Chains A and B, each alone.
Chain A
Amino acid sequence: MTAEMRDEGTRVSLTRGDVRRAFWLWTFFSHANYNYERLQGTAFAHAMTPIIRKLYKSPEEVKAALKRHLVFFNTEPNVGGVIHGAVIAMEEQRANGAPIDDDDINAVKSGLMGPLAGVGDSISQGTITPILLSIGIGIAAAGQPFGAILYFVLEVGIMVALAYFFWFQGYDRGREGVTAMLKSGLLDRVLTGAGVLGNMVMGALTFQFVNIYLTLSWNIDVGGGQTNLFDVNRDLLGAIMPGLLPLAFTLLTWYLIARRRVSPIWLLVAYVVIAMLAALPLLGPAGSPCSSILNPFFQPDAGCPPPPPA
């Protein structure tokens, strides 16, 4: 029996339970076989197995459906679930005789996976995760291990809820609904909003976690046997804008990575080397951490004189 011949009496329809089973398969196993050739390709097919079992009975249909979903696929796994939802709805219509072919399904998958990866990564990895991490880190660093648990519970709870919501949005709205949603500019608005929020959070993180000091200072003879301490950090940079150095340093790093295409791994190695050079005791007695040639550029050690407040 082919799909076209089905009438109302032989209609196959999916239950919420089937769609939910596919959701959990995806949520668990979306990256179980992540690889360079297909990325999440096999995971997509895996998530579709309960749907295929329910909708297609003939071996030929099953084979075609499995092969259809084993192709290259890659998106953000939580927000991107809207694609799976829409594809499940399309498979259901197709099994009941609607004129939907492989190309239609592939078009939805490959057309949506890029934009949703952009939006999804901005929301999940770009905004929610750094915010929750900085809450957890703040609590844990103060000696309360509870911070780690709080992060885990909030993060996993929010992500699962987000993924579940988008999955069923996709299924309930179907291909037309999802396409209409994308055309309405909603995606663009969310992306813009997430960009604004994400940039503000990154700005706060830069302030909080990037640390460079410039503690150069000279004694300037002002005459009359008196000297004046001129401190670069306090009297020059502090007078322009306190905290200018970490900001400039982070922007330089961004420029090197994003514009000059420097590998972050090279930078990682380079920064550790710079830090080591900064601590190298070339001036003064060996073993004294304050005697480093680059010491003035970096945050003070417990044993060294502290930088004056900026």
Chain B
Amino acid sequence: MKHTQYPGRATKVAALVSVAVLGALMFASPVLAQETPAVTAGLLQAALVGLGYYLSNSPWILGIGGFFGLYRPLVAGLIVGLIFGDPVKGAQIGAAINLLYIGFISAGGSIPADPSVAGWVGTALALAGGLDAATAITLGVAVGLLGTLVFFTRMSVDAVFAHRADAAAENGDIGGVARANWLWPQIFLFLISFFPATIAVYAGAPVVQGAITTLQTDWPWVLRGFQIAGGLLPAIGIALNMRFIFRGSAIPFYFVGYVFAMLIGGRFFPGVTAPAIGTIVVTTAIVGAAAAWIFVSLRSERASGAREA
């Protein structure tokens, strides 16, 4: 986590593309919107989604309940589902979007994408547009790219409050240092997260509804493309995680894990019904924990043996 990464050209281009696409959709919405929406996003519902997005980045839910909780599309999807009156569908869409970010890791002040905005705004738009879970994934990606803008803005501007803390420290003002950490940055964060998310849901819902209706009738292959992307994109999240752990003597265990999951997942035995998703991963994790234990003990035994010799 030592190396701080600033937003690169790719982020800026991606953000611009996302803005352009969403902007074009918005201008085209009167043309695209041919039917009345099935689920309407009222201002109150949109604001609740905006509030949820802010909270997921805030310290208020035990700190840990933000980044490790509400920040995840799985949790966000459930709450958005409750807001729109369909928790089952909401959690399903959230779970699908979360697949992309299953290996998500944020280290050294950089994020590859924003799972939180994908979860909160993405689920809301998908529910409003009547999308199925697999199709919602790509919508989540597009929105998730936009979310990195909020993150990078925040990371850049918050340095101002560090200088405010310096000034307070110079005066020996303990409360001032504390406020520079929790109060001012949170007001700023609220402004840059709550309002964009609320507006995106309120203004975006009819647009997405219209666009999806048009796609379904005229360009069904685009929706199929979304589904295909849903099978490719989790590789990025997993690869990002592997960047930190896929090294040295641990490398073979990645392949062991893959083949083990495949064995119990029934792909080698056509007659065997595949167990639930969680079962495969949990079973692999238990075997993995045992393998880790054995591997570490063998290594330290060998090391102490070498010392004695």
Contact = CB atoms under 8 A, between A and B. Distances in A.
Contacts of B276: 138-139, 142
A160 B66 CA distance: 12
Given A145-B81, A148-B77, A208-B281, A156 B299 contact: no
Contacts of B67: 31
Interface in A216-250: 242-243, 246-247, 249-250
B257 A41 contact: no
B1 A114 contact: yes
B87 to A, nearest CB: 5
Interface stretch (B29-37, B191-199, B205-213, B264-272): B264-272
A238 to B, nearest CB: 9
Contact of A63 (B165, B172, B182): B172
Interface stretch (A4-12, A91-99, A169-177, A198-206): A198-206
Contact of B261 (A145, A194, A203, A256): A203
Nearest to A298: B228
B103 A205 contact: yes
Nearest to B57: A31
B258 A39 contact: no
Given A195-B248, A263-B11, A152 B242 contact: no
B281 A202 contact: no
B27 interface: no
B1 A74 contact: yes
Contacts of A155: 68-69
A122 B259 CA distance: 22
A46 to B, nearest CB: 4
Interface stretch (A82-90, A100-108, A272-280): A272-280
Contacts of B285: 131, 197, 200-201, 204
B77 A140 contact: yes
A16 B14 CA distance: 49
B260 A203 contact: yes
Contact of B75 (A74, A76, A151): A151
Contacts of A246: 235
Nearest to A58: B172
A196 B250 contact: yes
Interface string A249-271: 11001101110000111111101
B161 A42 contact: yes
B300 to A, nearest CB: 7
A141 B245 contact: no
B238 A33 contact: no
Given A133-B102, A298-B228, A117 B250 contact: no
B241 A198 contact: yes
Nearest to B255: A203
A202 B246 contact: yes
Contacts of B281: 130-131, 134-135, 138, 201, 204-205, 208
Contact of A156 (B64, B104, B185, B229): B64
Contact of B299 (A149, A192, A274, A287): A192
Q: Which of A117, A205, A249, A276 has the most CB of B within 10 A?
A: A205
Nearest to B299: A192
Interface string A282-310: 00000101001000001101000000011
Contacts of B278: 134-139, 147
A29 B276 CA distance: 37
Given A32-B186, A159-B68, A160-B64, A39 B291 contact: no
B62 A27 contact: yes
A47 to B, nearest CB: 9
Contacts of A160: 62, 64
A310 B269 CA distance: 10
B296 A148 contact: no
A280 B165 CA distance: 55
Q: Which of B99, B218, B248 has the most CB of A within 10 A?
A: B99
Contact of A70 (B72, B165, B241, B280): B165
Contact of A207 (B174, B236, B261): B261
A43 interface: yes
Contacts of B233: 268, 271-272
A201 B285 CA distance: 6
B116 interface: no
B28 interface: no
Nearest to A47: B181
B63 A204 contact: no
15 contacts: A36-B156, A42-B181, A114-B2, A133-B72, A148-B91, A151-B75, A193-B296, A197-B289, A202-B103, A207-B265, A208-B280, A264-B239, A275-B232, A301-B227, A309-B270
| A-B interface, 6 closest residue pairs, ranked by CB to CB distance from nearest | A203-B257, A211-B231, A138-B278, A200-B257, A138-B277, A200-B288
Interface of A: 26-39, 41-43, 45-46, 49, 52-53, 59-60, 62-63, 66-67, 70, 74-78, 113-114, 117-118, 121-122, 124-126, 129-131, 133-145, 147-149, 151-152, 155-156, 159-160, 163, 185, 189, 192-212, 242-243, 246-247, 249-250, 253-254, 256-258, 263-269, 271-272, 274-281, 287, 289, 292, 298-299, 301, 309-310
Interface of B: 1-2, 4, 6, 8, 10-11, 14, 17, 58-60, 62-69, 72, 74-75, 77-78, 81, 87-88, 90-92, 94-96, 98-99, 102-109, 112-113, 133, 138, 141, 145, 148, 154-159, 161-162, 165-166, 168-172, 174-175, 177-178, 180-182, 184-186, 218, 220-222, 224-236, 238-251, 253-262, 265, 267-268, 270, 276-282, 284-285, 287-289, 291-293, 295-296, 299-300
